[in-house]
Amino acid sequence: MKYVANGLAVNNTLAGLHFGWNELGCQGARYLASALEKNHSLVNLNLFANGIGHEGIQYLANGLRHNRTLTTLYMPSNTIDAEGARHLADALQNNSTLTTLNLCGNPIRNEGVQYLAKALENNTTLTTLYLEGIFMTAEGVHALAIGLQNNRTLTMIYLRDNYFATQGIQHLANLLQTNSTALTILNLDRPNTEGDVVQYLFSALQYNTTLTTPSLNIGRIGPDPMPYLANALIHNTTLTTISLILNGIGPNGAQYLAKGLETNSTLMILALAFNAIGAEGARHIANALMHNKGLTTLDLGSNRIQAEGTRYIANALLNNKTLKTLSFGGNDIGLEGAKCLVNALLINKTLAMLKFREKDVSADGSQYLKDASLYLTANVTWDK
């Protein structure tokens, strides 16, 4: 690493460096930090899994204090603990160029989050922060929420694979409801909390005016919180993307969601794969598509929709004029379902992409779709 660092110190053309899995350790980080103080061209630096630790991050933090060009720093899985987070937070108080910071998979825990949250109160350049899998609990979320209340530049935060519990979700909900943050993207995939707790978050969306893309994949929230999301969709005018993959909302959850979709005109992308909505849930979603004027991308993959549910969706496509992409793989639609979709798409000229996966449809249904696709304006694709 010493020789690479020496080269970086004098190089004035290299903009990106991916140096993952190289066992830099503390000493390697020291060499690199020295180079960062002198380098004036490097913009993106990826140091994935290098065992940097809290001593190594102290050197890098010193380098960041003097560096004026680096905008993106990826340091996932580097055994950085709370002490290391403190050094980094101190650097963020003074750094005026870094916009993206990734600390995923580092055990910084609540104490480390508190240091970072304090830095966010003063930092005015960071826009994207990755804190996935850092062993954060409700205590850390509370500190983060306080830091975000005073920050007006951070717009994207990724918090998946942490342990929020009821209190953690409530802290985030309060932050969103009071519109005291600039966040537009919030990723809470696999939140490790009870499903019904999510109702607090959904309720807050009714009042929030900044968030555009909440993600709650693999939360297994079930149908109970869905009335709160439906109500939010009726009133919210900023949400553009919602991802609820693998949440088991079932047909009842789909019914509630459909009510919100009927009148919402701003949501453009909705991901509902692996939710077991069945034919009955598909019927509710289809009814919503009859009235919805905003949705352009819909993922209904692997929902046990079968031929009966496909008929409902196909009928909706006869009238819908906004949907452009429909993912429908893993629904066992058979030949009958394939015919329903083809008949609808011979009339519908808006849908541009119909997505399946290989072996999703029976052999005769698959062949029927492939043969008919020659006469459709929609592109029928088969992903592996």
- Other Cβ atoms closer than 10 A to 275: 28
- At residue 363, the pLDDT reads 76
Structural domains of the chain ordered from first start = 1-163 (3.80.10.10), 248-384 (3.80.10.10)
Per-residue pLDDT tens over the stretch 253-282: 999 999 999 999 999 999 999 999 999 999
Looking at the chain, the whole-number percentage of residues with pLDDT higher than 70 is 99
Per-residue pLDDT tens over the stretch 41-51: 999 999 999 99
Per-residue pLDDT tens over the stretch 103-140: 999 999 999 999 999 999 999 999 999 999 999 999 99
- At residue 152, the pLDDT reads 93
Taking 90 as the threshold, does the pLDDT of residue 183 lie above it? yes
Q: How far is CA 356 from the centre of its chain?
A: 22
Taking 70 as the threshold, does the pLDDT of residue 233 lie above it? yes
- Other Cβ atoms closer than 10 A to 23: 9
- At residue 358, the pLDDT reads 66
The chain-wide mean pLDDT, for the chain, equals 94
Better-scored residue on pLDDT, 5 or 241: 241
Taking 90 as the threshold, does the pLDDT of residue 52 lie above it? yes
For residue 22, what are its two tokens? 């190289």
Taking 90 as the threshold, does the pLDDT of residue 87 lie above it? yes
State the Cα–Cα distance between residues 213 and 347, nearest whole angstrom: 32
**Placement of tokens 């002198």 in the chain:** 38
Q: Which of 67-76, 134-143, 188-197, 355-364 has the least mean pLDDT? A: 355-364
Q: How far is CA 207 from the centre of its chain?
A: 21
Taking 80 as the threshold, does the pLDDT of residue 360 lie above it? no
Looking at the chain, the whole-number percentage of residues with pLDDT higher than 90 is 88
Per residue in 166-189, is it b (16+ CB within 10 Å) or e — as a string? eebbbbbbebbbeebbebbebbbb
Per-residue pLDDT tens over the stretch 303-359: 999 999 999 999 999 999 999 999 999 999 999 999 999 999 999 999 999 999 766
> Phi and psi at residue 215, in whole multiples of 5°?
-125, 125
- At residue 382, the pLDDT reads 86
